[in-house]
């Protein structure tokens, strides 16, 4: 199987991302170079998080790989399926120096087991 490319002919790049699972939350980060805070959109559901981020200046590559003609990318787009459900309305995010960091609290509730 040929691994999927991290770009598309639709002008979108797939950003690098990392999902860190913590006890009470998922911490998801995205690397979004050439993006300003106001151009980032984050949408979450119970089990997904989607980021669409427009670049402040499109990037254009020519004479490269299988394209061999000019191709321009204007945005990053990525949807991630989370390994367990979260509470989307409690999600929060910060954006600093091109890194988007999203905190997604887990939906499960902790139950203390009595020890007899």
Residues interacting with another protein, by CB under 8 A? 6, 13, 15-16, 18, 29, 31, 33-34, 59, 96-99, 101
- Whole-angstrom Cα distance, residue 74 to residue 10? 9
CB of 77 to another protein, least distance (A): 14
To the nearest whole angstrom, how small is the minimum distance from the Cβ of residue 111 to another protein?
A: 29
CA angle 60, 95, 50 (to 5 degrees): 70
Q: Which is nearer to another protein, 96 or 110 (CB)?
A: 96
Whether residue 99 contacts residue 32, with contact meaning beta carbons closer than 8 Å, is answered with: yes
Provide, rounded to whole angstroms, the least separation between the CB of residue 97 and another protein. 7
Q: Are 84 and 22 in contact (CB under 8 A)?
A: no
Question: In terms of CB distance, is 6 or 92 closer to another protein?
Answer: 6
From the CB of residue 58, how many other CB atoms can be counted at a distance below 10 Å? 12
Shorter beta-carbon distance to another protein: residue 14 or 87: 14
């Amino acid at each position: 199987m040929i691994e999927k490319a991290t770009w598309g002919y639709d002008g979108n790049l797939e950003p690098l991302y990392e999902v860190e699972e913590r006890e009470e939350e998922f911490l998801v980060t995205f690397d979004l170079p050439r993006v300003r805070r106001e151009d980032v959109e984050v949408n979450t559901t119970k089990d997904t998080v989607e980021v669409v981020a427009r670049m402040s200046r499109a990037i254009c590559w020519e004479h490269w790989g299988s394209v061999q003609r000019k191709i321009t990318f204007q945005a990053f787009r990525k949807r991630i399926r989370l390994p367990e459900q979260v509470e989307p309305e409690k999600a929060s995010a910060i954006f600093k120096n091109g890194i988007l960091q999203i905190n997604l609290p887990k939906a499960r509730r902790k139950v203390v087991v009595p020890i007899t």
